[in-house]
Amino acid sequence: MTNYNFDRVAAQYDATRAFPPAVKERICTWVLSRLPKDPAITEIGVGTGRIAVPFIERGVRYSGFDISQSMLDLLKAKVGDRPNANLAIADITQPLPLPEQSQDAVIAVQILHLVDATKALEQVRRVLKPHGALIWGWIEHGAQAPNSRIRPQFKAFVQEAGGAFRTDYNQQPARDLLAQWGARAAHHTVAVWQGQETPRQAIEPMGQKVMSSTWDIPDEILAKAAAKTEAWAEAEYGDLDRPLGYELSFGVDWYQF
């Protein structure tokens, strides 16, 4: 399996994927409102802290693990040294440096598709207290977002040139395992907001290997696909640099153990 250490894209991560401040605060408030008082929370694949920062700033006991030193350095630069934050390099598919049954919740956002999810979930289960929660979150772009329309085109052009986007991820085995353990799932849409993106901004992160789904595609195939996608988008939108508004949402499957 490809190693999805984000060192190579850390510098561009916040510029391409940041949440508005109100969304970060809303997610934090919503999660805390559903957990016991003074919870111990762990985030696997914590990255630059898109989810973690408000929790840490509010004094919550928060552990965050990542294999990327560069992503973790960016997070540490945001929050400084705080006694409530335990931020460390760790491969989340290996035993986590936490005692058994010590955490009220584990947060996993845009991470389980990048790792051996079964191994990661075994760690989640080991560190969660009885009746703890796995908070499995992700971001969705509305159907009219430039990204939602342009990405399938880009994929098709990559395929036409003999390459392939990463498509091997199937969530079902991870969900089946959670069901087998008796964890009950409930879906929640936690935040909805408006974003703006130009067609060029939707194309560039794929063409420049910022998105991890493109990392295995040979450069020449990616360059060809990017050029063809630009031509398609120019015909479709008229102007590659005109910002277009669209809806984004943050959804969570809350697994209660």
How many residues line the site for ligand SAM (CB under 6 A)?
A: 21
Can you tell me which of 42, 68, 123, 229 binds ligand SAM, judged by CB under 6 A?
68
Comparison of 68 and 229: residue with beta carbon closer to ligand SAM = 68
Look at the block and give the residue holding tokens 């850390």.
Answer: 10
Q: How far is CA 189 from the centre of its chain?
A: 16
Can you tell me which of 39, 47, 54, 163 binds ligand SAM, judged by CB under 6 A?
47
Q: Is 34 exposed, middle or buried (0-12, 13-18, 19+ CB in 10 A)?
A: middle
**Strand boundaries in the chain, DSSP class E:** 40-44, 61-66, 85-89, 103-109, 128-141, 184-197, 244-256
Comparison of 132 and 137: residue with beta carbon closer to ligand SAM = 137
Selected range binding ligand SAM among 27-35, 63-71, 164-172, 213-221, rule: CB under 6 A: 63-71
What is the closest distance, in whole angstroms, from the C-beta atom of residue 89 to ligand SAM in the complex? 8
Cα 77 to Cα 25, 49, 81, 143: the distances in Å are: 19, 10, 9, 35
Number of helices and strands in the chain (H, E): 9, 7
Can you tell me which of 110, 148, 208, 256 binds ligand SAM, judged by CB under 6 A?
110
Selected range binding ligand SAM among 109-117, 123-131, 167-175, 220-228, rule: CB under 6 A: 109-117
Selected range binding ligand SAM among 3-11, 55-63, 163-171, 230-238, rule: CB under 6 A: 3-11
Count the neighbouring beta carbons within 10 Å of the beta carbon of residue 114: 21
Comparison of 4 and 181: residue with beta carbon closer to ligand SAM = 4
Whether the CB-CB separation of 123 and 98 falls below 8 Å is answered with no
Question: What is the DSSP annotation of 51-85?
Answer: THHHHHHTT-EEEEEES-HHHHHHHHHHH-S-TTE
Selected range binding ligand SAM among 88-96, 97-105, 181-189, 232-240, rule: CB under 6 A: 88-96
Q: Which residue of the chain is nearest ligand SAM when measured via CB?
A: 47
Contact flag: residue 5 with ligand SAM (CB under 6 A): yes
Contact flag: residue 252 with ligand SAM (CB under 6 A): no
What is the closest distance, in whole angstroms, from the C-beta atom of residue 145 to ligand SAM in the complex? 18
The C-alpha atoms of residue 76 and residue 96 are separated, in whole angstroms, by 19
Binding site for ligand SAM (CB under 6 A): 4-6, 45-47, 50-51, 65-68, 71, 91-93, 109-111, 114-115
